[in-house]
Amino acid sequence: MFEQSFVEGTVKTNRGWPVVVSSCLQVTLISVGVLVPLMNPEMLPRNGILSTYLATPPLPPAPPPPAQPREQMATRKAAPPQYRDGRVFAYNRIPAKPAMIEDPPEVSDRVGVVGGIENGVPNGLSNSLINQLANTPPKPADPPPAAKPVVQQQKPIERTRLGGNVLEAKIISRKMPVYPKIALQARLQGVVTFTAIIARDGTIQQLQLVSGHPLFIEAATEAVRQWRYRPTLLNGEPVEVVAPIEVKFILNN
């Protein structure tokens, strides 16, 4: 029994070739079914495959603006020339009062409005910039420049120059200068000369040094600034005078 079972299990069958042939045949049929439609696209169904793309048609061009109506000008037919035998001839008689030929008024289909302007835009605004500029009054002229104030120049004060003993006779307050100690020790003497303006109130103004020893100048200047004079009168009016002033420093033995 064991041998029979073993032998039956090892017996070979001949069913392999039919399976291979059948598989090849099936592959061939499938390939033909796929390739034939690809080679002939018209055989494929169109529904669901081809898509239709629709584009919006371009807008029609804008219509041209309406033509502006032209002004209808009245025309007058010219009188035919008078010919005779191919030549122009004149009238034999000129009327005493020739008739005047008047052209009829121009006829226009445009209608004007109050406040409009010539050649304006129909249905335009009455308060446009052009109308505002046309109705704007002219700018007033600039006022004349203000006159410059007249400055009265003061006349220079006339001063009378005095000399000699006249000035000393009019002095009413004289302060004596202090003798410098150094000059005393050195036993120095000297004269300091000034020029000054005696004002109308008798005070000393614009004191200027003319000459003098340096040791005496400071003391002389301090003393002279405190001097007072009686004003000089000219025709009853006080006037300023320019006068020389001398201060003498003398040692007493």
Return the minimum-mean-pLDDT range out of 27-41, 129-143, 162-176: 162-176
Looking at residue 33, its pLDDT comes to 74
% of the chain beyond a pLDDT of 90:
13
% of the chain beyond a pLDDT of 70:
56
pLDDT reading at 147 higher than 60: yes
Angle at 98 between CA 96 and CA 100, to 5 degrees: 155
pLDDT reading at 243 higher than 80: yes
192, burial (CB in 10 Å: exposed 0-12, middle 13-18, buried 19+): buried
Residue 7: pLDDT band (50, 70, 90) is very low
Task: Share the mean pLDDT of the chain.
Answer: 72
Domain 160-249 class?
alpha beta
The pLDDT tens digits for 215-231 are 999 999 999 999 988 88
Looking at residue 180, its pLDDT comes to 92
Token pair recorded at residue 200: 């109308």
pLDDT reading at 252 higher than 60: yes
Which residues fall within 8 angstroms of residue 216, CB to CB, at 6 or more apart?
177, 180, 183, 190, 192, 247, 249
Looking at residue 64, its pLDDT comes to 78
Looking at residue 118, its pLDDT comes to 67
pLDDT reading at 10 higher than 80: no
Domain boundaries, the chain: 160-249
Of 143 and 219, more confident? 219
Of 104 and 113, more confident? 104
